[in-house]
Amino acid sequence: QITLKESGPTLVKPTQTLTLTCTFSGFSLSTSGVGVGWIRQPPGKALEWLALIYWDDDKRYSPSLKSRLTITKDTSKNQVVLTMTNMDPVDTATYYCAHTVEMATITPPFDYWGQGTLVTVSS
Amino acid sequence: QSVLTQPPSVSGAPGQRVTISCTGSSSNIGAGYDVHWYQQLPGTAPKLLIYGNSNRPSGVPDRFSGSKSGTSASLAITGLQAEDEADYYCQSYDSSLQGVFGTGTKVTVL
C-alpha cells in the first residue's frame, strides 16, 4: 500500500525559504523508474507542476520556478525534500507530493497523492 | 502557469454525456506525450482518472473515457452521476519532460 504525507511549516514570512518534506511508504526510491513529484494549488485555483525527482537522481523543474526550487531525496529515510526560496504571498497554496513510475512511458502520471499541506505566506 | 487550456465549466443532467477538452500545443500534447486526467472532489487531493490518454486505473468506472488527437485531448463522462461533480484536470509533459497541468474544469450535475 503506497502512502505519502507532506510536512512542513504552515506559515512562512515573505522572503523566507520554505522546506517541505514528503515521507512515503509502500515503495522505494531506489527502484528503477520510480519518482516523486511536487504539485501545488493556490486556494480556488488550478494545479501547478513544480518538480520531480527519479530513482536515479534525475531532477526536473518547472521552468518558471526553476531558480527558486531544489528537490532532493533521502532513500534511506524514504523522504523527498522540496525547498523554495524567496517566498511571496502568491506562493500561498496547498502543496502535494505524489508518486510516479516510468513503465511503458517516459511521461508517467501521478498515481498516488499525499493529502496536501497548506502553506500560507504572510508577514 | 497552465499551458493546457480547458473550459472553466461544463454541466449536464444526470444520465447525460459531457466532454471536457484539453488543448495544448506542438511542444506538449502535439509532441506525442501522453495525457493523463485527474478528478478532484471538493477538499480532497486529486485522484488519477485516466492515464496514457485512454487507460483507466483499476476501480475507475467505465463511464469515464479519454482520447487524444493532434494537440488536444478529451475526457468524456457518460451516464453522468451526482458523485461526478468535481474539478477535472488534464496533465501532460513538455519537450523538456517537465510536467504541465490544464487550467481545470468544474463539472456540475444539474
Each residue of B22-70: pLDDT tens digit? 999 999 999 999 999 999 999 999 999 999 999 999 999 999 999 999 9
Look up residue B12 and give its amino acid: G
What pLDDT was estimated at residue B82?
A: 96
pLDDT of B2: 64
Distance of CA B68 to CAs A36, A56, B17, B31, B84, Å? 26, 31, 18, 12, 22
The answer, yes or no, to whether residue A94 has pLDDT greater than 80, is: yes
User: What's the mean per-residue pLDDT of chain A?
Assistant: 96
Binding-face residues of A in 77-96 toward B, CB within 8 A: 96
pLDDT score of B95: 83
Phi and psi at residue B39, to the nearest 5°: -110, 130
Residue A114 C-alpha cell reads as 499525499
Q: Which amino acid is at A71?
A: I
Digit-coded pLDDT (tens) for A15-50: 999 999 999 999 999 999 999 999 999 999 999 999
B66 shares contact with chain A (CB less than 8 Å): no
Chain B contact for A5 (CB, 8 A cutoff):
no
Return phi, psi of residue A67, to 5°: -70, -15
Shortest distance between the Cα of A111 and any Cα of chain B, in A, equals: 6
The percentage of chain A sitting over the pLDDT mark of 90, rounded to a whole number, equals: 95
**pLDDT for res B110:** 94
The 3-state DSSP composition of chain A as helix, strand, coil percent (nearest 5) reads 5, 50, 40
